[in-house]
Amino acid sequence: MRRIIAGNWKMNPTTAENAVNLAKGVDERLEGINDLEKIIFPPFVYIPLIMENVRSVEIGAQNVFYELSGAYTGEVSPSMLLDLGVKWVIIGHSERRNILHEDDESIIRKVKSSLEVGLKVILCVGEKLHERELFRHKEVVKRQLDGIPDDENLVIAYEPVWAIGTGRNARVEQIEEMHEMIKSITGKKVLYGGSVKPENASELASAKNVDGFLVGGASLEADSFHKIALALRNQYLTSSK
Ligand code: PGA
């Protein structure tokens, strides 16, 4: 089973030129790594241009709507992404849940409709800090997983909200506890996300049931994303010896 290295660029970089340069830098560095699935998630507007400039990485979108066409101003449909050659989509990222107020119901609709057209989906789940402090982390994540379809193209990313963009990654034992639960409920690959950096990637990759990383901030530099990919690959090679 190939592990996944995914780079979520969020709303960065801010020019097409910088986006293409970053994509090319990542593509060149990751070209020799064949035993990982490698995906970058640029903002929608840069996707077509980036596709013309990369060979070794797949391209995904950071969001999608659940309807396929119609009067939904500002939205992009799963079939439009597929038509463009996009293979993957991230759904339910905590920034969309919390800043854009997406609820569990619309997230599950997005997951279903994307899988139905043939996209691969990374569904993000994870608890907020106060939910963990109240020992409600398992209950919250179980609720977020409620109603997900059983589909081979579905991957789950466990991203505790308190670890995203904070420099404070979850500890190995916390990751193992949550990944084990998610795996037992879904049977899917489970990625970890939340302040993954070159400095902590080997340790985090050694946690049980970590099938890859969803990287935010550190995916905006080709060198650091490359180092994380190498740590993931090397850890995997060591553990499968
Ligand atoms: P981070 O973001 O690596 O910057 O913490 C991860 C994510 O939001 O997917």
Any catalytic annotation for residue 93?
A: yes
Q: Indicate whether 241 pLDDT > 60.
A: no
State the pLDDT confidence band at 70, using cuts at 50, 70 and 90. Answer: very high
| pLDDT score, position 1 | 78
Cα separation, 241 vs 44, whole angstroms:
40
Among 4, 159, 162, 219, which residue has the most ligand 1 atoms within 8 Å of its CB, making it the best to mutate? 159
Q: Distance, CA 132 to ligand 1 centroid (Å)?
A: 18
Nearest atom in ligand 1 to 195's CA: 5
Ligand 1 touching residue 149 (CB < 6 A): no
| Residues 209, 155 contacting (CB under 8 angstroms) | no
pLDDT digits (tens, 9 = 90+) for 107-159: 999 999 999 999 999 999 999 999 999 999 999 999 999 999 999 999 999 99
State the pLDDT confidence band at 240, using cuts at 50, 70 and 90. Answer: low
Cα separation, 128 vs 104, whole angstroms:
15
Q: Distance, CA 70 to ligand 1 centroid (Å)?
A: 32
| pLDDT score, position 76 | 98
Ligand 1, atom 9, lies closest to the CA of 216
Ligand 1 touching residue 212 (CB < 6 A): no
Give residue 42's identity as a one-letter amino acid code.
P
Nearest atom in ligand 1 to 10's CA: 8
| pLDDT score, position 237 | 76
User: What domains are there in the chain, each with its CATH number?
Assistant: 3-240 (3.20.20.70)
State the pLDDT confidence band at 236, using cuts at 50, 70 and 90. Answer: confident
Ligand 1 touching residue 219 (CB < 6 A): no
Buried b (16+ CB within 10 A) or exposed e, 198-221: bebbbebbebebbbbbbbbbbbbe
> Is this prediction's pTM over 0.95?
yes
